[in-house]
Structure 1
Amino acid sequence: MLNKLHDRYPGSQLQFQKPDFSFNSDMYWFHHEESGQWLGIPAQEVSADSLMVLKTLFEFHDSSIHHAPAAQAWFQYLFSNGEHPSFAKDVPYRLIQFKMSEGEWIREDMEAAFRGFFEKDITILWNGEATGVIIEESNDSLAEEEFLAVSNALESDFFVKTAFYIGIPNKAGTHLHNLFKEEQLLFEQASSLLPAERVLNFERLFPSLITGNLDAFLKKSLLSRLSLLEEDPELLHTIKVFLQNSSNVSLTAKKLYIHRNTLQYRLDKFTEKTGIQLKDFNSALTVYLACLLIEQT
């Protein structure tokens, strides 16, 4: 049956191997279990009525990532080296990459949820089954801390974990395209260096990149200087959270769900055993890099 459909749709692809959906971004895929065949049909060639019928006959995989012309123009610009969209405004745009865990969620529902968090209209591009980019004008953009609330809401409502990488705002043009390519690589590295983080940007990732690329001598020197943190996971976590919260005792105690006196005891314990004063900027930076390195090893 798929052979006949293949003849009917000139732009279709027929194969026995399961397709890589991320490289077929404008196709509807249908699988015939008995024959093992896969048929990919360009989305623009399938009418709504035909799609409904085909869904009832075959296992359906929606790889047609974009339909709206505006979204397609952005997709060609960012992922296929196309010209920057002619309709783009002369304002900075911020590109927010996202990666979600797989599940039973529906793409349309997820897009509706995304749009509900943004005051202004956004463009959503998909470059995979669970990965994509949100494009927003950087004027009155969503605050970075609000993305954690978005991630928590998506997990609560859809049971899906979502990580975001917030890009640097820039006007549409060659520089934005090149910057996005760099940010794609950074997001990939972030997934391995900081897998538990839900909201990332360059500043949050950069210290981990430094520790991840230290040579063997510097790694050994840093770890030997702060071996106490390797031996005491609780102290390691305490010091890291303390430094991440600008050395604010009250805020850190609240984040760790402990009393201020308990936190102060742990900080004094660290200073007593290492001789390092965390109020000193260079010392604090060194200790923070050590915390990241220990977590990576």
Structure 2
Amino acid sequence: MITKLKKVFPSLITYDSNSEQSPVGYKWYVTEDEKILGIDKNEISTKDEALLSTFLSPYSDVELPLTIKEKFWQDILHREQTLTENDHVSSYRFVHFSFQQNKVEPNLFREAIQSIFSKPLPILWLTDHQGILIEEQTEVLEESIAYNEIIDILMSDLYVKIRFFVGPFMTALGDAKQFYSRFVEGATTIFKYTDKQVISYKEAIPYLFADQVSDSFRDETKYFLLKEVLDDMELIHTIETFFACNLNITVTAKELYMHRNSLQYRIDKFVEKTGIDIRQFHQAATVYLALISKK
């Protein structure tokens, strides 16, 4: 059967788990004897697709066997893997990604991501709409990807909202397993507190700390610090924007399309009502944590 299909679809390949990466732009099928076949999408018409589905089962990109590099990381992170002298990268980091469910096929997301990187990127899927990218650096001068610079390109290409939680670069493979489990759990936590589409591990620390305290303590913090302004949503939004703009009056005024004097009036109003001068770093930090608790 494969030989006959090959005559109709010259691009047809069988999946090779020893490959460094999955070929992009392919639609995958599995035969009755569990062989995985891929055909270039450009060769498949709507009529062809309907015909193929009568004797082949569609195969999700998420279900594809792992590449050599993905299997290496899967073993490191989920099994009692004994490291050898050859198991070495100069540095690595985990990047959690998520996008809206049922809005884009995983293989399209994979293609878009792989087109940005200069070499194959291991991807470990958690579900069909979220997973972990593993960015390795094997050379000291190798540049890392700035995810806040590529996210608009990806969302424009895929027409889907994407979020990235970018972990810190690490050097010891022995630390990967323990950190990975905390990192995946942290990714679920931080997006309960922020609408940012790209957030670094350093930026996420306040959210992770806030989530560790009890609900009662968060409620008390919110009430005792912000009780005089909790119902003033406009004022709260102003202060949140002020923090997002690093306490910069000029930048905040531009962000809110507001005159500097009007913004200064609102900040003075907040200080007067709460007794907390958010122009001072330590007091601003206290309010910032209270606002996180509010969420």
TM-score, length basis structure 1: 0.72
> What is the correspondence of 1:165-244 to structure 2 with a 5 Å cutoff?
165-194=165-194, 196-215=195-214, 216-217=216-217, 219-244=219-244
Give the alignment partner of residue 48 of structure 1, picking from 37, 46, 56. 37
Give the alignment partner of residue 60 of structure 1, picking from 35, 58, 61. 58
- CA distance in 2 between counterparts of 1:124 and 1:256 reads 39
Residue identity in the other structure for 1:229: V
Label 1:286 to 1:41 Cα distance change in 2 as closer, same or farther (>3 A).
farther
Label 1:254 to 1:82 Cα distance change in 2 as closer, same or farther (>3 A).
farther
CA RMSD of aligned residues (A): 3.1
Residue in structure 1 matched with residue 92 of structure 2 by the alignment: 93
Residue in structure 2 matched with residue 110 of structure 1 by the alignment: 109
**How many pairs are equivalent?**
252
Label 1:111 to 1:189 Cα distance change in 2 as closer, same or farther (>3 A).
same
Question: What are the superposed Cα offsets for residues 156-192 of structure 1, whole Å, 9 maximum, x if unpaired?
Answer: 3222221111112112522122111111111122243
Give the secondary-structure state (helix, strand or coil) at the position aligned to 1:290.
helix
- CA distance in 2 between counterparts of 1:83 and 1:55 reads 42
Is the helix fraction higher in 1 or 2?
1
Percent of residue pairs bearing the same amino acid type: 27
Question: What are the superposed Cα offsets for residues 13-48 of structure 1, whole Å, 9 maximum, x if unpaired?
Answer: xxxxxxxxxxxxxxx998xxxxxxxxx989xx4142
Residue in structure 1 matched with residue 20 of structure 2 by the alignment: none
Residue in structure 2 matched with residue 73 of structure 1 by the alignment: 72
Label 1:141 to 1:169 Cα distance change in 2 as closer, same or farther (>3 A).
same
Residue in structure 1 matched with residue 136 of structure 2 by the alignment: 137
Residues 76, 83 of structure 1: 8 Å contact kept: no
- CA distance in 2 between counterparts of 1:156 and 1:49 reads 27
Give the secondary-structure state (helix, strand or coil) at the position aligned to 1:93.
strand
Gaps spanning 5+ residues in structure 2: where? 1-27, 40-48
Is 1:154 the equivalent of 2:154?
Answer: yes
The Cα shift of 1:104 comes to 4.7
Residue in structure 2 matched with residue 283 of structure 1 by the alignment: 283
Residue identity in the other structure for 2:127: G
Residues 229, 274 of structure 2: 8 Å contact kept: no
The Cα shift of 1:78 comes to 2.3
Give the secondary-structure state (helix, strand or coil) at the position aligned to 2:263.
helix
The Cα shift of 1:87 comes to 5.5
Give the secondary-structure state (helix, strand or coil) at the position aligned to 2:230.
helix
Residues 221, 293 of structure 2: 8 Å contact kept: no
Give the secondary-structure state (helix, strand or coil) at the position aligned to 2:124.
strand
Residues 99, 164 of structure 1: 8 Å contact kept: yes
Give the secondary-structure state (helix, strand or coil) at the position aligned to 2:53.
helix
Residues 124, 133 of structure 1: 8 Å contact kept: yes
The Cα shift of 1:269 comes to 1.6
- CA distance in 1 between counterparts of 2:64 and 2:133 reads 13
Residue identity in the other structure for 1:226: L
Residue in structure 2 matched with residue 256 of structure 1 by the alignment: 256
Residues 94, 170 of structure 1: 8 Å contact kept: yes
| Range with bigger deviation, 61-70 or 278-287 | 61-70
Label 1:100 to 1:85 Cα distance change in 2 as closer, same or farther (>3 A).
farther
Give the secondary-structure state (helix, strand or coil) at the position aligned to 1:171.
coil
- CA distance in 2 between counterparts of 1:157 and 1:256 reads 29
TM-score, length basis structure 2: 0.72
The Cα shift of 1:56 comes to 3.7
- CA distance in 2 between counterparts of 1:170 and 1:211 reads 24
Residue in structure 1 matched with residue 19 of structure 2 by the alignment: none
The Cα shift of 1:250 comes to 1.7
